[in-house]
Amino acid sequence: MKRLKAIVLGATGATGATGQELVKLLLKDSRFSKVIIFVRKNPKIKHDKLTTYEIDFSRLNEYKGLIHGDVIFSALGTTLSQAGSKTQQYLVDFNYQYEFAKMGFKNKVTHYSLVSSVGANIKSFFFYPKTKGALEEAVKKLGFKNVYIFQPPFLIRQSNLMRPGEKRALKILKRLNQIGILKSQKPISVLDLAQKMINEIRSDNTVSLKTFKPRDIF
C-alpha cells in the first residue's frame, strides 16, 4: 500500500485543537510517510516525518509551491471574539481555507478532509453556519477525488484550551444527554474526531464525497 503525504492546515493556537491531535496521530501512523503543517506560529515540534512552514496566511499565494502531498486536513478556524469582526472571521473560516484547497488541488492533491461545523448550511440566516456551509459547497466543486466533510457536535478540546464558558456548557450538555435530551449532540473529543478523519483516508482508487453528521462520527 502506498504511504501518503499529509498536509495539515490549522495545527496551533486555541482554535487549532483538532489540528494538534491530527499531527500527533499522523506522526505515529505508519501509513503516512510525511506530515507537512502550515501554521501561523511554529509549534517547535521535532520529528523525522514533520516539515513545518510558518506562514502569513494573508500572503498564501507566495507559498503555493509548497502545497504538495496526497491529503489536506483542513482544521483552520477562529471565533468572532478572536477575529475581531465578521470580515476578519470570514477571511479565516472561508477565504484562507478555500484558497489553500484550490492551490492544493492545482498541485494534484487528491484527498481533502475538512473540519466544518454542526448545522453548516449556506442558506442559514446565521453568519457562522452560513460561512461554514459556503466553504463546504465551494470545496466540493474543486474536483478532489475524495472529499470528507465533518460536522462535529460540541468539541471537547484540550483542558488548557477550554474557556470557562465552554466548560460550563459541556457540563450542562452532558447532564442533558444523561436524561436522554440532545443525545444526537453528544460531545466528542478532538482526539476522537482527529482519529475518525484519519481512518477515513484510503490510498486506493475509491472516489467519494462524504459528509459526516454528528451521529456518523461517534
pLDDT in tens, 153-199: 867 765 555 455 555 555 555 555 555 555 666 777 888 899 999 99
Evaluated on CA atoms 101, 205, 19, 184, the torsion sign reads positive
Where in the chain are the domains?
4-217
For the domain with range 4-217, which CATH number is right: 3.20.20.70, 3.40.50.720, 3.40.630.20, 1.10.8.190? Answer: 3.40.50.720
In the structure grid, which three cell numbers stand for residue 164, read together? 470557562
- 115 within 8 A of 77, measured Cβ to Cβ: yes
Q: Annotate 164-189 with DSSP letters as a single string.
A: HHHHHHHHHHHHHHHTTSSGGG--EE
Please give the pLDDT value at position 16. Answer: 78
Please give the pLDDT value at position 205. Answer: 66
Please give the pLDDT value at position 93. Answer: 93
Q: What burial class does residue 79 get, using C-beta atoms within 10 Å of its C-beta: 0-12 exposed, 13-18 middle, 19+ buried? A: middle
Intervals of the chain under pLDDT 50: 162
